[in-house]
Structures are given as structure tokens and as C-alpha cells.
Amino acid sequence: MPPQTPNPTEPEPSRRPSPERRITGRAERKVAAVQAARRKKLSWLIGAIVAAVVVAGVLILVNRPQSGGSPIVTAAPLPASIAFSSATMGDPEAPVSVVEWGDYQCPGCGIFAQEVALRLVEGGVRRK
């Protein structure tokens, strides 16, 4: 078999890509870069949303009302022997008057109201 010679009418295969193919490759890389940038932005957005949901969940759990706690204690009614009218109680002619400033949430005020104040009024001190 004789060696084959190239046919002059056939175009010689080129080793370099054609300019059209180079443009297509550049365009593909550009499209891939744009898609990668979009994916990156989307992942940041999804991460921010997830972080916001986690923070909101933690805040809701921390600030929810606590069940239980101390029971509400009501004061016992005053004995009939202690006179009172509006903001004063006790004997209007008592030799000593006590002005009380109290807070319903203060533990010290609660102890005073439950243990000391009643004894003072029964002992003859007028409480204003």
C-alpha cells in the first residue's frame, strides 16, 4: 500500500481551536462565573435567613412566660376590733402614728405587712 498524501481539496485539520470556539469557551466561563456568583449570593441569603430564624427562636424561648412560680397569697381580713377608713387603720386617738410606704413585690414589705403591721395596730399604734 502506498503512503497516503494529503488531498489538496480537503482542508487541513487545525490544531488550534477556531475563533468561534474560543469565544464560546470564554462565554461559557463567563456564564459559569455569573452562576457561581449567584450561588454565592443565594447561599449568603439562605444563611442569613437561617440565622435570623435561629435568633428569633432563641428569643421566643427565653422570653416565654414561665409556668409555675410562687402562689398568689391574699391577705387575711382584718379583725373587727381594728377600725379602718380609706387609707388609715387603727385607733384615731392612738399615741403613735406610723406612716407606711410599701411595695407589693418587695419581700421585706410583705413580711412587715404579714407579721409586724397587724401587731402594731392591735397594740395601739395608728397606721396611716
Retrieve residue 7's grid coordinates: 488531498
Q: Chain-wide mean pLDDT for the chain?
A: 77
96-98 and 125-127 as β-strands: parallel, antiparallel, unpaired?
parallel
| Chain segment 1-21, per-residue pLDDT in tens | 556 665 556 555 555 555 555
How far is residue 39's CA from residue 87's CA, in Å, rounded to a whole number?
72
| Chain segment 35-45, per-residue pLDDT in tens | 999 999 999 99
Retrieve residue 5's grid coordinates: 498524501
Sheet holding 96-98, edge to edge: 84-85, 88-89, 125-127, 96-98
| Chain segment 82-112, per-residue pLDDT in tens | 777 777 777 777 777 778 788 878 888 888 8
